[in-house]
């Protein structure tokens, strides 16, 4: 019987469970302290050879996704789903203890302008009309507030028709919360309490008693994104003033335009990057609209770059001083519309951190405050970048006079 058994066969084994000898104990596996003295073995089902071994570390993502049912049998994937289950269980318990009500909201709804494209579902009963899958339950939870439900929550699936990226996917799950008559301090304190408890319960990690906070403007100015990863010790530096009078129009043009900016990103140890690596990063920022990626390397024998001849030694030294660059570092530049510079250098910052392992090891939560309601498009029109169910930080008249 034993000779006919192969990998992935389903067996029924009857026998006696005994403790392993002390020199045979293996605490790296769940059954490492016991063994079974088999009295009978029965093959319940056979198996053909599977496309990849479950313990293989070099299986491509494409193969893993094609045979997802096998991929989900791996310990790593099972552990992730178990952790996710514990996270949602903890959140539900926490919200219930604080008198929040779990209310389901509809999935088939009316399309409303939000931050991404909607998934549309054709209506059978109303020909030519479409439902939209919700990007968030925003409208429904506002109706619940109007209906007297002061504390609502839902662990809900949301849908956004946008390109797949590391932080973007067509469908995702979020903890959705809404309250009435709660102050900013009260809601942030409540969420901090939940997050601290969650990290302590599942990861045995102690987060700060109070989370730091920065403004939206500061986040965009320093990190280029509205949800910065503060574990990355890289910051963008504004060098508009340095570049206003240079003859190099690629820099002086944006530096003298209030809708544009020139920014620098210093990368410690980046002078060792090869030409090919820099070319790859140039292609990467092109995804976000950047027309190129200028740089200056700080070598033992001084700064080197194709752009130094356009800037001159004095301006180059001012940039080095402003960015606090040292020998062995590289400085990348962005010069364009403010949005393009922020997005390109902000995402480059995160990619460099991943590629060069620049992350600090400690968790770094942060609140980002004072999001603007609108942004100005190139043609001067306003584009909503936040949902309208938000109290303006100033008087409502201020919002009417100066929407941005």
- 55: in domain: no
Number of Cβ within 10 Å of residue 234's Cβ equals 21
Same structural domain, 336 and 234:
yes
CATH number, position 346: 3.30.1360.30
Are 369 and 188 contacting, i.e. CB atoms less than 8 angstroms apart? no
- 326: in domain: yes
Same structural domain, 148 and 105:
yes
**What distance in Å separates the CA atoms of residue 323 and residue 319, rounded to the nearest whole number?**
6
Number of domains in the chain: 4
Same structural domain, 208 and 309:
no
- 198: in domain: yes
**What distance in Å separates the CA atoms of residue 396 and residue 404, rounded to the nearest whole number?**
13
Same structural domain, 191 and 272:
no
- 44: in domain: yes
Same structural domain, 192 and 281:
no
Using the predicted structure, report yes or no on whether residue 210 has a pLDDT greater than 80: yes
- 64: in domain: no
Same structural domain, 182 and 280:
no
Q: How confident is the model at residue 278 (pLDDT cuts 50, 70, 90)?
A: very high
Please tell me the least confidently modeled range out of 234-243, 322-331, 392-401. 392-401
Helix residue ranges, H only, 98-212? 138-146, 184-203
**What distance in Å separates the CA atoms of residue 343 and residue 18, rounded to the nearest whole number?**
61
How many Å from the N-terminal Cα to the C-terminal Cα in the chain?
A: 76
- Residue 163 is encoded by which pair of tokens? 């390109």
Same structural domain, 116 and 244:
no
Query: How would DSSP label each residue in 256-286?
Result: T-TTEEEEEEEETTGGG--HHHHHHHHHHHH
- 107: in domain: yes
Same structural domain, 243 and 342:
yes
Same structural domain, 41 and 100:
no
- Residue 52 is encoded by which pair of tokens? 């990849």
Same structural domain, 32 and 137:
no
**What distance in Å separates the CA atoms of residue 125 and residue 123, rounded to the nearest whole number?**
6
The C-alpha angle with vertex 374 and arms to 370 and 380, in degrees rounded to 5, equals 140
The domain in which residue 290 lies consists of 223-364
Radius of gyration of the chain (CA): 28
CATH number, position 179: 3.30.930.10
Residue 382 CA, distance from chain mean position: 26
Going by C-alpha positions, the residue among 290, 292, 321, 320 that lies closest to residue 304 is: 320
Same structural domain, 248 and 358:
yes
- 54: in domain: no
Using the predicted structure, report yes or no on whether residue 395 has a pLDDT greater than 70: no
- DSSP state for residue 119 in the 8-state scheme: E
Task: Report which secondary-structure segment, H or E, holds 375.
Answer: strand 374-376
Are 41 and 47 contacting, i.e. CB atoms less than 8 angstroms apart? no
pLDDT in tens, 105-155: 999 998 877 667 899 999 999 999 999 999 989 889 999 999 999 999 999
Going by C-alpha positions, the residue among 260, 264, 259 that lies closest to residue 239 is: 264
pLDDT in tens, 336-394: 999 999 999 999 999 999 999 999 989 999 999 988 888 777 777 887 776 666 766 76
Residue 315 φ then ψ, to 5°: -65, -40
Angle between helices 275-286 and 338-356 (to 10 degrees): 140
- 257: in domain: yes
pLDDT in tens, 41-71: 999 999 999 999 988 888 999 999 999 999 9
- The torsion of the CA quartet 397, 224, 219, 337, rounded to 10 degrees, works out to -30
- Residue 354 is encoded by which pair of tokens? 């991943």
The C-alpha angle with vertex 366 and arms to 364 and 367, in degrees rounded to 5, equals 170
Whats the size of the chain, residue-wise? 404
Are 236 and 222 contacting, i.e. CB atoms less than 8 angstroms apart? yes
**Is residue 343 classed exposed, middle or buried when 0-12, 13-18 and 19+ CB atoms within 10 A define those classes?**
buried
Task: Report which secondary-structure segment, H or E, holds 214.
Answer: strand 213-215
- Residue 398 is encoded by which pair of tokens? 């201020």
Last residue of one domain, picked from the residues 213, 235, 250:
213
Residues 6+ apart with CB under 8 A from 260: 253, 254, 335, 336, 337, 338, 341
Same structural domain, 360 and 376:
no
pLDDT in tens, 155-199: 999 999 988 776 778 999 999 999 998 988 999 999 999 999 999
């Amino acid at each position: 019987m034993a000779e006919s058994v192969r990998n992935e066969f389903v067996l029924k084994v009857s026998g006696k469970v005994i403790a392993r000898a002390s020199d045979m104990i293996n605490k790296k596996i769940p059954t490492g302290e016991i063994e079974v003295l088999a009295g009978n073995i029965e093959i319940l089902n056979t198996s053909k050879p599977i496309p990849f071994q479950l313990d293989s570390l070099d299986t491509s993502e494409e193969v893993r996704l094609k045979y997802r049912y096998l991929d989900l049998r791996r310990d790593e994937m099972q552990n992730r789903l178990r952790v996710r289950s514990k996270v949602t269980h903890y959140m539900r318990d926490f919200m219930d203890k604080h008198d929040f009500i779990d209310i389901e909201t509809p999935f088939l709804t009316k399309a409303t302008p939000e931050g991404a494209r909607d998934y549309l579902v054709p209506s059978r009963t109303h020909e030519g009309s479409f439902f939209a899958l919700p990007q968030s339950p925003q409208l429904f939870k506002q109706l619940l507030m109007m209906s007297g439900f002061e504390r609502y929550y839902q662990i809900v699936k949301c849908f956004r028709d946008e390109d797949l990226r590391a932080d973007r996917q067509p469908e995702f799950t979020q903890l959705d919360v809404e309250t009435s008559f709660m102050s900013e301090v009260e809601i942030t304190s409540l969420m901090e309490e939940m997050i601290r408890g969650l990290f302590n319960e599942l990861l045995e990690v102690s987060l700060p008693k109070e989370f730091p906070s920065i403004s939206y403007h500061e986040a965009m100015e320093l990190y280029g994104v509205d949800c910065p990863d503060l574990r990355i010790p890289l910051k963008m530096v504004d060098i508009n003033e340095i570049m206003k009078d240079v003859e190099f129009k690629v820099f002086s043009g944006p530096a003298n335009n209030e809708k544009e900016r020139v920014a620098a990103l210093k990368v410690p140890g980046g002078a060792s990057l090869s030409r090919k690596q820099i070319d790859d990063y140039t292609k990467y920022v092109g995804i976000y609209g950047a027309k190129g990626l200028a740089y200056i390397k700080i070598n033992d024998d001084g700064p080197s770059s194709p752009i130094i001849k356009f800037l001159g030694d004095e301006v180059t030294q001012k940039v080095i001083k402003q960015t606090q660059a040292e020998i062995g570092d590289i400085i990348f530049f962005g010069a364009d519309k403010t949005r393009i510079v922020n997005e390109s250098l902000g995402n480059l910052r995160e990619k460099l951190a991943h590629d060069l392992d620049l992350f600090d090891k400690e968790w770094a939560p942060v609140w980002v405050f004072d999001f603007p309601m609108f942004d100005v498009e190139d043609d001067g029109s306003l584009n909503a970048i936040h949902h309208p169910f938000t109290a303006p930080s100033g008087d409502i008249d201020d919002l009417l006079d100066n929407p941005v």
